[in-house]
Structure 1
Amino acid sequence: MSGTNRLSPVKAKALAEGLVIPAHPLALDSNRKLNEQRQRALSRYYAASGAGGIAVGVHSTQFEIRNKGIDLYEPVLRLAAEEVERAKLDRPFIMVAGVCGPIEQAVNEAQIARSLGYDAALLSMGGLTQLSEQDILKRTENIAEIMPVIGFYLQPSVGGKIFSFDFWRQFAEIPNIVAIKMAPFNRYQTLDVVRAVCYSSRRDEISLYTGNDDNIINDLLTTYRFNVDGEQVEKEIVGGLLGHWAVWTHKAVELLKEIKQVRGGDISPEWLTKNVEVTDSNAAFFDPAHQFHGCIPGIHEVLRRQGLLEGTWCLNPNETLSPGQSEEIDRVYRDYPHLNDDEFVKKHLKDWLAEVEPM
């Protein structure tokens, strides 16, 4: 299976209409080695949940998979691709590969992803403090020549950097940019990206996705409107590419479906309350109380409780649940039972954990 350097019309349409794209975690055993059975089970869960894609090799998959001696980048991308192919889905499903690092590393990762049939690269711009905005734009152009690119505005507290409005205007003009994930956890910086895309000649070719786990529902309900050279231009954030949606995914799919039905109409104030409930749940999972130290173990803990993972182990042994985080997850389970999909998982878990059958 090998990808192309363009998104198919069917998948481009699906991306533009809005999808739930979970950020795929990494399943490890107690020795911190890849647990292939559980890794496959997670991919099966997301496919069965109704998600419109998955993002693999991203922060939730743990950046250490690239480290020498661990060398899991290609294996975890391959496992996910195999399971999606095996699922024989009757809907468009977009495979997104996390791509990061300096230009040589990023090019190599994009080439691996394309060879495995991935549709797009989620191009991280974190950890590149030595590069200027022009350097990063050039890096983006190089990756966009290999495969479609989803831009990624990452919050500074977890390794991202602040970019100017002019940077995003130039970024949006790069051919083969198909979407931008906005995750600065900051309304002003999110606004910069949306406004820049609206000013771009490619605004109708670029889909906007939220990664703002602290404001998911409000992002998805908002219509942005700007005066561009005397013309009223509107843009919506159509879907989400989220670590938060790596858990309770089936309910996230239902939520996005409901949001699409009410967009553009009379929106009940109840949606503001739902936004707070989701944000409160995210606080338990992502651990902002401890500067997001427990964000990956928090995701793992929910999946462990559901039976999808055996433990919360990370490649970095220092990444563990923060003090009180488990109790916070207890609380949001108790306070917002309508948000979890435990019954859905329970119904299908045995099938997802079944041994691989020959294709």
Structure 2
Amino acid sequence: MADGLFAPGTVVPAHPLALDESGGIDWVSQRALTRYYLDAGAHGLAVGVHTTQFALHEDPALLADVWAAAAEDASAAERPVGLIAGVRGTASTARIEAGVAGGLGYQAALLSPAPGSTDDDILRMAESVGEVLPVIGFYMQDDVGGRYLGVDFWRALFAQPAVIGVKIAAFDRYRTGEVVRALLESGRDDIALLTGNDDSIVGDLATTYRGDVDGVQQSASFVGGLLGQWAIGTRAAVELSARVVDARNSGTVPSELLTQGTWITEINSAVFDTQHGFAGCVAGVNEVLRQQGLVRTSLCLDPVERLSPGQQEAIAEARRRYPELLDEAFVAENLERWRS
């Protein structure tokens, strides 16, 4: 399943949620975003994930409507588009969500456990959801609600046959290495590594991990990324990801690609609001899209999630400095059509 859903260089935007000034869904903008990602060449869409706002899961009917809208547009594309549903909460609630998403054509579920979940809770969640849809594990950084998940946890998760991938968004090289080590030890070559480390996207994609497992050299590489960062500059992301993976496979990664990686990290610092401990990360993605005209507001369902002081200006400066990496011309040329 992983091979069919995740080809080398895979770019999966974490789909935002577009709200109007009253806080309701702005369906014109929501569909415009999906059309942007499809025209940009995204290989899949992740809907109902952190960037779509976890608060959306408090309204199951609305969540289903958002899933359905993205699935409808994806089904009209002239190429295969993978659909990944973010499922949230306990083992039972996530299983119900996975059933709804599967009925709408989603092919896998990205796990977002309930706050305070133990390792065993998450493993039960994975097992329960895995009876409905293939499972993608999620290592979320501490600043936005994640926590440390040790090697033993990843060994146990990778032992579940329904697991086809893992999104590593720990924003920590040590923790990233531990997940890869557990994967190498698992002996499985059908689990896709997806970077969610927005601070090291190119570094992840450019790296081949190798290690000795019982006297045998094993290797693993990130097949692509599932990222909130790829919800902006998606066309540039598709082009860059393909170039990095090709360079990695050739054995020579040009320094110019690594330099571009530092530019993306600089953009991410403004968008994800590192100056304020990532407080404005979801609103920041929305703000880029608002400034570009794709959505009408940067509002979030949870009023606590908002832009931080100075973040709007920092995003505008990032757009000025790196227009190619943020698809400025591409968006301007197609905006009217996507919103029609």
User: Aligning the two structures, in what range does the TM-score lie when normalised by the shorter sequence?
Assistant: over 0.9
Distance 2:245 2:143 in 1: 31
1:196 corresponds in structure 2 to 182
Q: Structure 1 CA distance, aligned partners of 2:252 and 2:91?
A: 47
- Secondary structure at 1:190's aligned position in 2? helix
Using the size of structure 1 for normalisation, the TM-score is 0.91
**Counterpart of 1:111?**
99
Q: How far apart are 1:86 and its partner, in Å?
A: 2.2
Report the Cα offset of residue 318 of structure 1: 3.0
SS of 1:30 mapped into structure 2: coil
Question: Deviation string for 1:292-334 (max 9, x for gaps)?
Answer: 1111111111111211101111112232211111121122223
* Distance in structure 2 (CA, Å) of the matches to 1:141 and 1:206: 16
- How far did residue 18 of structure 1 move? 3.4
Three-state SS of the structure 2 residue aligned to 1:318 is coil
1:218 aligns with 2:203: yes
- What are structure 2's unaligned runs of at least 5 residues? none
User: How many residue pairs get matched?
Assistant: 339
Which is further off, 265-274 or 285-294? 265-274
Contact 1:102 1:128 in 2 (8 A): no
The alignment status of 1:93 with 2:81, answered yes or no, reads yes
For 2:243 and 2:301, how far apart are their aligned partners in 1? 37
Q: What displacement does 1:135 show?
A: 3.2
Correspondence 1:229-244 to 2 at 5 A: 229-244=214-229
Return the alpha-carbon distance in structure 1 between the equivalents of residues 76 and 177 of structure 2: 40
Q: For residue 274 of structure 1, what is the aligned residue in structure 2? A: 260
Mapped contact 2:53–2:301 kept (Cα < 8 A)? yes
* Correspondence 1:121 to 2:121: no
Q: Is the 8 A contact 1:126 1:159 kept in 2?
A: no
Is 1:324 matched with 2:314?
Answer: no
Report the aligned-residue RMSD.
1.5
Q: How many angstroms apart in 2 are the aligned matches of 1:272 and 1:263?
A: 12
CA apart distance, 1:40: 0.9
Equivalences for residues 278-357 of structure 1 within 5 A: 278-354=264-340
- The 5-angstrom pairing of residues 37-186 of structure 1 reads 37-68=28-59, 71-87=61-77, 89-90=78-79, 92-125=80-113, 127-129=115-117, 131=118, 133-186=119-172
The residue aligned with 1:15 is 6
Check the 8 A contact 2:91/2:121 in 1, yes or no.
Answer: no
Look up the match of 1:357. none
Match of 1:4 in 2: none
Could you tell me how far 1:16 is from its partner in structure 2? 4.3
Are the equivalent residues in 2 in contact too, given 1:126–1:154 (CA < 8 A)? no
Question: 1:163, CA displacement in angstroms?
Answer: 1.1
Contact 1:153 1:184 in 2 (8 A): yes
Cα shift readout 1:253-304 (whole Å, capped 9, x = no counterpart): 0111111221132222223322211101000000011111111111111111
Query: In the alignment, is the contact (CA less than 8 A) between 1:101 and 1:128 conserved in 2?
Result: no
Which amino acid counterpart does residue 271 of structure 2 have in structure 1? Answer: F
Q: Which amino acid aligns with 1:81?
A: A
Identity %: 47
The answer to whether the Cα contact below 8 Å between 1:306 and 1:345 also exists between their aligned partners in 2 is yes
Code of the aligned partner of 2:46: A
TM-score, structure 2 length as denominator?
0.96
CA–CA distance in 1 between the matches of 2:255 and 2:26? 44
Offset of residue 15 of structure 1: 0.5
Question: Match for 1:171: what amino acid?
Answer: L
What is the letter of the counterpart of residue 55 of structure 1?
A
1:228 to 210, 213, 217: 213
Q: 1:96-145, CA deviations, whole angstroms, 9 ceiling, x for partnerless residues?
A: 0001101121111111111111010001235133x3x2332122111111
Shift of 1:71: 4.5
Deviating runs (4+, > 6 A) in structure 1?
none
